[in-house]
Amino acid sequence: MKEVHRVAPVQEIKAARYQSTALAALGDYSGSRTAYTTALPAIIAPKPLALAKVEYADLLVSVRQEDEAYGLAVEALQVGKQYGSEKIVDRVRDLLSRMATTCGDAKRLDRMLIDLYD
């Protein structure tokens, strides 16, 4: 009998995240968006979900959908603050440095980052 290897759900989620990042780098934003929207609902752990949201927000910034990106970044930063995750905070800070929109969430995100160090 032929042995069948199954990929663990966690690995499938990681694969979808990596696929999305690679597709975005190649300019296939539609494919990238599809990969992320497939992966996001399956991620239940707070920190990996926050990291995925920052990665997805980065994709949104690259296609100039910054209002939605800010919302995701705010959600991710709340988790980063709650769990003391410098990795999440650093990625949100880096993302913010590449964004131009001055929507309400932009001011909120900027204030949240400042408050982390007060």
> Domain holding 19: CATH number?
1.25.40.10
The single-letter DSSP state of residue 75 is H
Q: Please tell me whether the overall predicted TM-score, pTM, comes out greater than 0.85 for this model.
A: no
Q: Give me the pLDDT at residue 100, please.
A: 77
Q: Give me the pLDDT at residue 102, please.
A: 67
In a domain, 2, yes or no: no
Q: Mean pLDDT across the chain, nearest whole number?
A: 82
Q: Give me the pLDDT at residue 78, please.
A: 93
* Best CA proximity match to 21, nearest among 35, 10, 11: 35
pLDDT-based confidence at residue 106 (cuts at 50, 70, 90): confident
Q: Which residue type is seen at 57?
A: A
In a domain, 1, yes or no: no
How many domains does the chain contain in total? 1
The Cα-based distances of 100 to 64, 90, 93, 96, 103 in angstroms read: 9, 18, 13, 8, 9
As a whole number of Å, the CA-based R_g of the chain is 16
In a domain, 22, yes or no: yes
User: Of 12 and 73, which is predicted with more confidence?
Assistant: 73
In a domain, 49, yes or no: yes
